[in-house]
Structure 1
Amino acid sequence: MAVTDEAIETIKAMIVSGELPEGSRLPKEETLAATLGLSRNSLREAVRALVAMRILVTRQGDGTYVSSLEPHLLLDGLTFAADVSQGRAAVQLLQVRRLLEPQATALAAAKVTEEDLAVLREILDRCAEAETAEQFIELDMAFHRHIVGLVGNPVLATLLEIVSTRTQRVRLIRGIDTTAAFSSAHREHEAILAALSTRDAPLAAAAAMSHVAAVEQWAAGGGVSRSTAPEWLAGGESVTG
């Protein structure tokens, strides 16, 4: 194992053991380097890597601290991996979304308020008036994000953001019939909203499942004719390269 990798693992172990609790300030560079038996350059490389992982945070002029270590914060670093996924990896992300989103939507059905329904209604009305794919994508993400937010679980929300990023959605629309795509996605969204308005958790889960399953099947099969690509925004996965 490289010296820098060993330093990363050692600092992680210090955090896990409680020697460096969340929110604590790291010892001075020279002190920590001596403790770990590292050169200061190797320690700096390790710290930079841990900052990139959101395990450590730097405060200009104040030093380096252990982050809050909240799971959703640490998971956010996986977004790039989802953004660049293609082929089989994209399909696997869709499978994860299919497992998570219907249950999240079912949980949201028990918590949704009239105010929430009004917000979702307004988003869908704006979706119907979207003039570009980019506008529709932003509204699509806002629709799903609001629903998942009702659950009150930031870890779940982050996981669903990871398996369905904006970059994935943008890449999927290349070359497909966007008019048909808008119509298909909008119908699926309306079905989800209708289910939420009845507070029927099983129905909400079924509507969300339908919204994701068709595009997963399409992605797994390598694609179909562009004019019949189903629910291009339902999963937004990069299946077109």
Structure 2
Amino acid sequence: MAVTDEAIEKIKDMIVSGALRPGDRLPKESELAADLGLSRNSLREAVRALSLIRILDVRQGDGTYVTSLDPQLLLEALSFVVDFHRDDTVLEFLAVRRILEPAATAMAAAHIGERELDALTARLEALGTQPSVEELVACDLEFHRSIVRASGNSVLCSLHDALSGPTTRARIWRGLTQQDAVSRTLHEHRAILTALRARDAEAARSWATVHIASVEEWLRSAL
């Protein structure tokens, strides 16, 4: 194991064990390096690496702190990594969305408020029957994010945000090339909303699955 990796593991162990808790300030560099049996250079590199993935917060002139370790904060690093996806992995991202998003939609059926449902309905109605592809995709992104957020699960919401980006170009491509893509998307959105208003979790799950699977099916045939 590289020296820096060893230093990262030792700091991680302190956090996992509870020796360092969210919001705690790390001991002085010289003290921590001595306690962990590390050189100050390797400790410094470990702190830099852990700050990049939002585990630690380095405050100039104040010290280094453990962050809140909130899932949304930690999963920002996943969003960064996902940005480097290759086009040939988009189907895999869609497959993961097809696994996670219907479950989140079913959960939302029990939690989403009438005001949120009214806002989603109003946004769909404002699109009309023949929106541009760009308008439709922008609405689609916000539509799904709002529903996943309504599931009440911050981890699911963060995962959805990370996974949604790589599929945006495929959604635009579909809207431009598939004859009935716009009407199908609008129909499926309305069906999802109807299920959510009825508090029918299984219908909401089914329609969300159909909705994502239709994009996946089209992309597989297009590729």
Paired with 2:49 and 2:170, the residues of 1 have a C-alpha distance of 29
Are residue 52 (structure 1) and residue 42 (structure 2) matched?
no
1:211 is aligned to: 211
* Count of residues in correspondence between the two structures: 221
2:19 is aligned to 19
- Taking only the aligned residue pairs, the percentage that are identical comes to 50
Amino acid at match of 1:57: D
Contact 1:7–1:43, Cα closer than 8 Å, also in 2: yes
- Within-5 A mapping of 1:168-207: 168-170=167-169, 173-174=172-173, 176-177=176-177, 180-207=180-207
**More helix by percentage:** 2
1:141–1:173 CA distance, 2 compared to 1 (3 A):
closer
The code of the aligned residue for 2:20 comes to L
Flag structure 1 segments of 5+ consecutive residues without an equivalent: 225-238
Contact 1:127-1:186 at 8 Å conserved across structures: no
Query: Which SS does the other structure have where 2:20 is aligned?
Result: coil
TM-score, reference length from structure 2: 0.86
CA distance in 1, matches of 2:54, 2:73: 7
Q: Tell me if structure 1 keeps the 8 A contact 2:29–2:40.
A: yes
Once the two structures are superposed, what CA deviation does each residue of 1:82-134 show, in whole Å capped at 9, x if it has no partner? 2332356332222221122112112212223321111111222344475462x
**Paired position in structure 2 for 1:159:** 159
Which blocks of at least 5 consecutive residues in structure 2 are unaligned?
Answer: none
Q: Indicate if the aligned counterparts of 2:53 and 2:74 stay in contact, CA closer than 8 A.
A: yes
Conserved 8 A contact 2:20-2:26:
yes
The AA in structure 1 aligned to 2:60 is: Q
Q: TM-score, length-normalised on structure 1?
A: 0.80
Asked if 1:103 is matched to 2:103, the reply is: yes
Distance 2:215 2:181 in 1: 11
Task: Pick which of 23-32 and 174-183 moved more.
Answer: 174-183
